[in-house]
């Protein structure tokens, strides 16, 4: 009698979702999900028919929609090697929900990366980040809400939670207070990150001479300020988001080998590793 290959001899499982049967290899479920691995390892009664072995006794997945499960299977079992998986935004949302529920870590991360580049509206993005604990989305979404012209509406506050809405109101108020405290400040790209407690606008006054900036090579530079902090507003908001929500934007400061200020959680440019970094001329 021929032996069974340890890798390529698949046991099949039959799932029932909304009255529809799906027959798929069991192995990916066992390998990628602790939940299914535990489910399949449960002891069975000696003479009992094991669920998922036949069409008459499938493994029933309650509270799962057929369309969502089909989209999930398309990711778990790609149609062709190396081929792009043709899913819509709604289907990727379905994949994210099931991957999160069943602890498929790799598929969850794939869905997050696919959705990252989609045109999801800001409020929905915050909702998803909260629901599925997508921490890499939080800072950018909070910063955008802080800079948005309109405050959260009643409907948006209900969707995100009134506790969150109040905190975001405090973030926006922090920015407004800073603007009021420096009414004559004009916007410019700063050449440094001011210390905690100092407003990034404190030295930018109309009629006041500003320190010139130059590179370490002595060449006067017009290189834009590195990272996501476009102006003084972003610096104020970044600190407020860190203080109020405990969310920091390290992932958004693409500064290479930057030094990290332990008080602010904001990377400070290192002239030795970034020779283009601008420094003040104190002359």
- DSSP three-state, residue 33: coil
Residues composing the chain: 283
| pTM for the predicted model, two decimal places | 0.71
pLDDT of residue 80: 79
Place of tokens 């979702």: 17
Distance CA 76, CA 95 (A): 10
Instruction: Using alpha carbons, list the distances in angstroms from residue 178 to 113, 170, 197, 199, 283.
Output: 35, 12, 11, 7, 29
Mean pLDDT per 10-residue interval, the chain, length 283 residues: 89 96 95 93 69 92 96 92 86 97 96 90 96 94 94 97 97 92 60 58 50 37 37 88 88 35 41 39 35
Distance CA 233, CA 231 (A): 5
Instruction: Using alpha carbons, list the distances in angstroms from residue 73 to 95, 99, 102, 130, 265.
Output: 9, 11, 13, 25, 41
pLDDT tens sequence across 150-187: 999 999 999 999 999 999 999 999 999 998 888 766 44
Q: 260 pairs with which residues across the strands? A: 267
CA torsion through residues 31, 32, 34, 40, sign: negative
pLDDT tens sequence across 225-259: 333 345 788 889 999 999 999 998 753 333 333 33
Contact 240, 146 (CB under 8 A): yes
- DSSP three-state, residue 133: coil
């Amino acid at each position: 009698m021929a032996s069974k290959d340890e890798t390529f001899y698949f046991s099949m499982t039959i799932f029932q979702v909304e009255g529809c049967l799906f027959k798929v290899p069991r192995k990916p479920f066992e390998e990628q999900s602790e939940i299914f691995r535990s489910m399949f390892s449960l002891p069975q009664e000696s003479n009992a028919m094991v669920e998922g072995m036949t069409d008459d006794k499938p493994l029933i997945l309650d509270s799962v929609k057929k369309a969502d499960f089909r989209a999930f299977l398309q990711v778990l079992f790609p149609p062709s090697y190396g081929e792009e998986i043709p899913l819509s935004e709604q289907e990727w949302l379905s994949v994210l929900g099931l991957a999160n529920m069943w602890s498929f870590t790799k598929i969850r991360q794939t869905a997050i990366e696919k959705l990252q580049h989609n045109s999801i509206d800001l409020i929905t993005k915050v909702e998803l980040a909260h629901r599925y604990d997508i921490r890499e989305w939080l800072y950018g979404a909070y910063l955008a809400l802080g800079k948005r012209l309109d405050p959260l509406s009643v409907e948006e506050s209900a969707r995100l939670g009134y506790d969150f809405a109040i905190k975001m109101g405090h973030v926006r108020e922090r920015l407004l207070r800073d603007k009021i405290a420096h009414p004559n400040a004009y916007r410019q790209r700063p050449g440094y990150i001011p210390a905690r407690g100092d407003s990034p606008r404190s030295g930018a006054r109309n009629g006041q001479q500003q320190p010139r900036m130059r590179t370490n090579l002595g060449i006067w530079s017009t290189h834009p300020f590195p990272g996501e902090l476009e102006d003084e507003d972003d610096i104020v908001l970044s600190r407020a988001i860190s203080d109020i929500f405990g969310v920091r934007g390290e992932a958004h400061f693409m500064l290479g080998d930057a030094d990290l200020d332990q008080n602010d959680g904001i990377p400070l440019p290192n002239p030795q590793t970034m020779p283009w970094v601008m420094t003040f001329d104190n002359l």
